[in-house]
Amino acid sequence: MNYRGVYTLFNKEILRFYKVLLQTVVAPVITALLYLLVFSQVMASHTEVYAGVAYGAFLIPGLMMMTMIQNAFANSSSSLIQSKYTGNIVFILLPPLSYLEFYLAFLAASIVRAVVVGAGVWLMALFFVDLPLYSVGVVLAFTLISCATLGTAGIIAGIWADKFDHLSGLQNFVIMPLSFLSGVFYSIHSLPDFWQVASHFNPLFYMIDGFRYGFFGVSDVNPWISFAVVTLFFAGMAVTTVVILKRGYKLRN
């Protein structure tokens, strides 16, 4: 393992999103807070999803996870498409880095950005809502595996996309709809039977539901099942990414 090389590429990715902190960190945090303020004001007096849990408190974990996974995807995908578009991808491919080291560096940077944004949402939300914490271990486990999954998906998307329109299409027509239909703003038990069943085919639902369990000790699905589903999904994405990188698809070929 070329540890120095992995760290150098990882550091380059950290500096890339740090240079535009207003866009990569501050803007997502503010957007999540706007969702919190608007939905908590409108729905607080009409909805109690879990007994004894205020709607504003229920909303925060969902917004945190939604923001983290969107930013994990955006970090790796935008970096790769920008490098391909400007032509400086060659300076990433020329150093003596294996495909696995390449993957780990981009994945770690995506997780870091996602965690920073998630922590920002959590800290700002504490000024408005009293949020309990049932299990730190569950929160951390779902944070890492979920951000790793979407960071990996972002790498695949960045390699596949030939232009920014392709990437925007994936974000607008796949990632965003799956995020909003994953139980961020509601419990799936409040849905009609058909949509309850459909929600179980959305991997992002398991990420948010398991993450929310870490705060309240209550969830729509057994958290062990949620963690197993997300882990299997991550494993499939990781294997796919490593195979793509090894073959040099749209990078070396």
- DSSP, residue by residue, 37-53: HHHHHHHTTT--SSTT-
Nearest partner of 157 among 139, 169, 142, 141, judged by Cα: 169
Domain assignment present for residue 197? The answer is: yes
On whether the CB atoms of residues 147 and 68 are closer than 8 A, the answer is: yes
pLDDT digits (tens, 9 = 90+) for 215-248: 999 888 999 999 999 999 999 999 999 999 988 8
Q: Is residue 161 part of a domain?
A: yes
Predicted pLDDT at 43: 65
Number of domains in the chain: 1
Question: Cα dihedral sign for 135, 200, 121, 157?
Answer: positive
- Encoding tokens for residue 127? 């000024």
Whether residue 24 is contained in a domain is answered as: yes
175 pLDDT band, cuts 50/70/90, is confident
Asked, for residue 253, whether it belongs to a domain, the answer is no
DSSP-H helix ranges across the chain? 3-18, 21, 27-43, 55-86, 90-93, 99-125, 136-160, 164-170, 176-180, 193-199, 203-216, 223-247
Tokens read off for 40: 């908590």
Is the per-residue pLDDT at 45 higher than 70? Answer: no
Residue 11 lies in a domain: yes
The pLDDT assigned to 48 comes to 61
Looking at residue 46, what is its pLDDT? 58
Residue 107's pLDDT band (cuts 50, 70, 90): very high
Amino acid at 179: S
Q: Which of 80 and 90 is assigned the larger pLDDT? A: 80
Average pLDDT, integer, range 176-198? 83
Residue 89 confidence (pLDDT): 83
Nearest Cα to Cα of residue 40 among 124, 152, 129, 123: 129
- Give the contacts of 207 (CB within 8 A, at least 6 positions apart): 65, 69, 142, 145, 146, 149, 182, 226, 230
Query: Does 127 reside within a domain?
Result: yes
**How confident is the model over 111-124, as pLDDT tens digits?**
999 999 999 999 99
Query: Which two three-digit tokens encode residue 23?
Result: 């866009």
Looking at residue 189, its pLDDT comes to 78
> What is the distance, to the nearest Å, from the Cα of residue 200 to the centroid of all Cα atoms in its chain?
18
Q: What is the pTM of this model?
A: 0.92
Residue 28 lies in a domain: yes
Question: Which whole number is the average pLDDT over 172-190?
Answer: 84
> Quick check: is 252 in a domain?
no
**Sign of torsion over alpha carbons 22, 23, 25, 29:** positive
- Written as six digits, the tokens of 11 are 């550091």
Find out whether 185 and 59 touch, Cβ atoms under 8 Å: yes
**Domain of residue 28, residue span:** 3-247
pLDDT of res. 253: 60
**In this prediction, what percent of the chain has a pLDDT beyond 90?**
53
What pLDDT score does 44 carry? 59
pLDDT tens by residue, 151-161: 999 999 999 98
The chain-wide mean pLDDT, for the chain, equals 89
